[in-house]
Amino acid sequence: MNKNDSNLNLKYDVEYYSANIKAWYTIKVLKNKYLINLSACCIGLLLTTDIRASLPFINRVDTATITCFMLCIVSALLIFIRWAYYIDKIILDSKQDKDAILVILDAISNTTFVLGIISFFILIIQQPV
């Protein structure tokens, strides 16, 4: 193997790694943008419709639902902030491990969104026809 082949392989490796990071970042950004948009829409629906009732159980579920969606929005926004730091670390050190804070924030955003959807459906089911 000569020097030109070695340089060409190195360029291919760098391009492959760069494409992987770009694809990973794009997928994560889209997922978090959708979580933010859907959570904001659900909060808007809860605040503008007449789902709330006078029953204490329904008011607690309503508050829990809004809280879940707000936590989802906040954690997704914190993910965007943390990514800038993490991508800088990836660029400087290609063997960088996963960022524990990003993993925790991602789990919080996913979990709170799912819990918000479940409690939203509980509110819809409890509504009289």
* Distance in angstroms between the alpha carbons of the first and the last residue of the chain: 76
Computed over its alpha carbons, how large is the radius of gyration of the chain? 21
Angle at 98 between CA 7 and CA 85, to 5 degrees: 85
How many Å separate Cα 76 from the centre of its chain? Answer: 5
Angle at 73 between CA 72 and CA 75, to 5 degrees: 65
Q: Which amino acid is at 22?
A: K
Confidence at residue 13, expressed as pLDDT on a 0 to 100 scale: 76
Confidence at residue 109, expressed as pLDDT on a 0 to 100 scale: 95
Confidence at residue 2, expressed as pLDDT on a 0 to 100 scale: 64
Q: What is the residue-level pLDDT of the chain in tens, covering all 129 positions?
A: 566 667 777 777 778 877 887 887 788 889 999 999 999 999 998 888 765 555 666 678 888 899 999 999 999 999 988 888 887 787 777 676 788 899 999 999 999 999 999 998 888 887 665
pTM for the full predicted model: 0.78
Between the alpha carbon of residue 77 and those of residues 15, 85, 123, the distances in Å are 29, 14, 26
C-alpha span between 38 and 113 (Å, rounded)? 9
